[in-house]
Structure 1
Amino acid sequence: MSDILRALLCVSEKAANIARACRQQEALFQLLIEEKKEGEKNKKFAVDFKTLADVLVQEVIKQYMETRFPGLGKNISGEESNEFTNDLGEKITLRLCSTAEETGELLSKVLNGNKLASEALARVLHQDVSLADPTLDSVEINISQDILGIWVDPIDSTYQYIKGSANVKPNHGIFPCGLQCVTILIGVYDIQTGLPLIGVINQPFVSQDLNTLRWKGQCYWGLSYMGTNIHSLQLPIPKRNGTETSSRLTQNTNSESEVPRCFSAVISTSEKENIKTALSRVCGSSIFPAAGAGYKSLCVVQGLVDIYIFSEDTTFKWDTCAAHAILRSMGGGMVDLKACLERNPDTGLDLPQLLYHAENKDVTGVDRWCNKGGLIAYRSRKQLEMFLSLLIQNLAPADVNT
């Protein structure tokens, strides 16, 4: 499975290069936007868009992984369809061809004959990319490829990607909006149990060179399988004598931090008022609105906040699988908020982790794969238990039981 992770790291960087390339020229970028149809769009938004970059990224990931691991492609699912319609009304099925020249010709049909742009994009699509981590060399994990499924969100926070704000200032390290909130999410899960196993989050737009205006990114990953947990962030693990050491490879990792006196949380700008009111009593002023489910989850992974909470059903399996896997490798996880609020902690029941293998019943379209009970992402179970206790105390009884 470490070979699969290595491949995912490489293809995530190829995807990040595509995302950056499609933003280089504003005139070109305006050609790349298409409104999603009913059944595809997120009901959270009146208008939801997909971009050519979204579709290209998803198709490149599928083909790259299928080429290296034959048979895996059929188990890769994502947010976008691979059909695009150009200004002439022609419906084109996008795919990565065997050569850059052939891919350029196909892209030219989407871009209304813009040959220069098509050729430039094709070169990026076929460019070799290397991105690895020496930590992976120390681990060999064997797992049957047949039980693996993959969720892909090719460009999470598409609206921020389209808007393209580059000069947003962070609040305590957290960007409320802007290109920094854009992420590429690849999550691997067990198709038998639904548990997340591998997560890769690529953040294409982290810092910009003010002279060249080119962006640099950052990639985060984690693997959690059969008691082995490994991740790309060196987080401090408290020791009994008060000193701290850093570890990236552990067995049965459970890096519990001390429970904070006041929690911090990142939330959606569309969060319900009753949840925000309760959070203000639990977190005080340490509540940070931000765009993008992937980015908000990443804020928890990075340790910028303790909790990401969202009470609505407008995140999806492709939004959460990658971050969930990374958090599991760090001793945390991602749970169903509604089920947590309804759970009796005195019974000692396990926390209701989000699962990724079964669709919701009695719904259609993308709602089949929504996280219908909302979610809480966390790094420490001890912190989560304390947070839930305080949250329930500060919610009205009707809010807890809905």
Structure 2
Amino acid sequence: MTEEAEATPNLLRVLVNCAEKAANIARVCRSNEQLLSLLVQEKTGGEANSRFEHDFKTLADVLIQETIKEEVGKLFPAMKDLIRGEESPNFTNKEGNSITIAVGETESETTSCLAAVLEGHEEAAAALATEVHRVVSYESSKLGEIPQLPQDLDYGNLGIWIDPIDATAEYISGDTMFTNFPGITSTGLDCVTVLIGVYEHDTGVPVMGVVAQPFGIKLEENVYNSSIFWGICLPTLQAHNCSFGARDEQRHLVIFSSSEQAEILQQFLDLGYEFAFSAGAGHKSLKVITHEVDVYLLSKGSTFKWDTCAPQAILRSLGGDIFDFKASVREQKAMPIKYLGEDDDSKRNADGLIAVRDVQVLENILVKLGQQ
């Protein structure tokens, strides 16, 4: 091993630690209702998701995104220009002034930036800055062994998509509703995920993903630990920490958004599937990863590359994938989502998606859906 290789940090380990830092920031922001109310503003114009009547962003979203970009970009300068996220770094304070959120070289610099947004709440700004600059090393018996990455990995050809807080509405409200399937929530903090996905710039193929649930493990009232899932799928390396048995081999379950078309639901009923409705694209993909559901399908173009890159990489490490829904039905073959293009149109998964852990289950589904 060369000195240069020894000096290169393990990218997957860095992303796991970034995900845990993101989870810490998310928990700190939500630990005080008054603080949370200060941090929320509604997205407008081009930032908004047209599927939702209201589409909120929080300072937690923006701060997490910029923290990950700063940390990864500093350690892997060849990747810096290809680290992108959902949120604009611009935030408007209560006086109507637009502030660009940036992580400073020092904790005091970051505190000053956050204080400009949280006018009159310097203690809150300082608390958040402390989390941004805290040295984090996530350890858990469920994390598994982080593998050594190939020495010839071309970091200059790797990009990252970040969704700092997926299911923001659930993050804000915190109201939990359960489905008829134990362990699968319809709404609530369990639906909140942090998504960090790595893809090859030249092929558009996702190769590494980390999905964190900041509120995955409830210790006591309002006290949580993270659940973190990862996967890597390179030509010479496939690994993950997602070895889960199926919920019930005799029952087939598909998970949808509550707005899914009635005819799609009926087609899955005809195929013998039961179904659940839940919030959060990352959360629904995670239920496929953890083998709690067989399929996640969304027929509408209301998700984006930041929603799918991380879970798709993990599913690929398991032998599954996330596919372009309409293209796969039209072509009657599996058409994986790719991460190509730099314009706004290429950010959206315009033709919907279908996520599976076992690609073989797609065959009957595509035949059935192609009959319409």
Q: Distance in 1 between matches of 2:117 and 2:215?
A: 25
The Cα offsets for residues 219-261 of structure 1, whole Å up to 9 and x where unpaired, read as: 000000115210012246xxxxxxxxxxxxxxxxxxxx9x966
- Corresponding residue of 1:378: 356
Q: Give the C-alpha shift of residue 115 in structure 1.
A: 1.1
Distance in 1, Cα, partners of 2:370 & 2:68: 41
Q: Deviations over 1:108-149 (max 9, x none)?
A: 110112011111111111111002656224554531111101
Report the Cα distance in structure 2 between the residues aligned to 1:370 and 1:263, rounded to whole angstroms: 29
Task: Write the distance in 2 (CA, Å) between the matches of 1:124 and 1:261.
Answer: 45
Amino acid at match of 1:159: A
Q: TM-score, normalised by structure 2?
A: 0.92
Counterpart amino acid of residue 22 in structure 1: C
Q: Secondary structure at the match of 2:220?
A: coil
Question: Pick from 173, 189, 193: which aligns with 1:183?
Answer: 193
The answer for unaligned runs of 5 or more in structure 1 is 237-256, 346-350, 398-402
The letter of the residue matching 1:373 is D
Determine if contact 1:76/1:150 at 8 Å carries over to the other structure: yes
What RMSD over aligned residues (CA atoms) do the two structures have, in Å? 2.0
Paired residues for 1:257-336 under 5 Å:
262-284=251-273, 286-336=274-324
Q: CA deviation at 1:209?
A: 2.8
1:64 is matched with which residue: 66, 71, 76?
71
Q: Deviation of residue 262 (structure 1)?
A: 5.0
Contact 1:148 1:190 in 2 (8 A): yes
1:2–1:141 contact (8 Å) kept in structure 2: no
Which of 128, 136, 142 aligns to 1:121? It is 128
Shift of 1:265: 0.4
Do structure 1's residue 152 and structure 2's residue 162 form an aligned pair? Answer: yes
1:343-384: CA deviation from partner (whole Å, max 9, x where unpaired): 245xxxxx2100012257xxxx5x441111111100111122
Where do 5+ consecutive residues of structure 2 fail to align? 1-7
Deviation at 1:41, TM superposition (A): 0.7
1:74 alignment counterpart: 81
Matched, 1:352 2:335: yes
Per the TM alignment, residue 341 of structure 1 is displaced from its structure 2 partner at its CA by 1.2
Letter in 2 for 1:356: Y
Is the 8 Å Cα contact of residues 260 and 383 (structure 1) preserved in structure 2?
A: no
Report which stretch shifted further, 373-382 or 126-135: 126-135
Q: SS in structure 1 opposite 2:46?
A: coil
Percent of residue pairs bearing the same amino acid type: 41
Report what 2:17 is aligned to.
Answer: 10
Instruction: Provide the secondary structure at the position in 2 that maps to 1:71.
Output: helix
- Give distance in 1, aligned partners of 2:254 and 2:144: 33
CA distance in 2, matches of 1:141, 1:273: 50
User: What's the offset of the Cα at 1:187?
Assistant: 0.5
Matched AA of 1:225: L
- 8 Å CA contact 2:195–2:282 kept in 1: the answer is yes
Partner residue of 2:51?
44
| TM-score between both structures, scaled by the size of structure 1 | 0.85
Give 3-state SS (helix, strand or coil) of 1:187's partner. strand
SS of the equivalent of 1:234 reads: coil
Cα distance between partner residues in 1 of 2:144 and 2:91: 39
Say whether the 8 Å CA contact 1:282–1:391 is kept in structure 2.
no
Of 19, 23, 42, which aligns to 2:30?
Answer: 23
User: Alignment length, in residue pairs?
Assistant: 360
Cα distance change, pair 392–172 in 1 and its aligned pair in 2 (3 A) = farther
Matched residues in 2 for 1:359 and 1:101: separation?
A: 35
Seen in structure 2, the aligned counterparts of structure 1 residues 221 and 9 have a Cα distance that, compared at 3 Å, is same
Is 1:158–1:182's contact at 8 Å kept on the other side of the alignment?
A: yes
Distance 1:184 1:134 in 2: 19
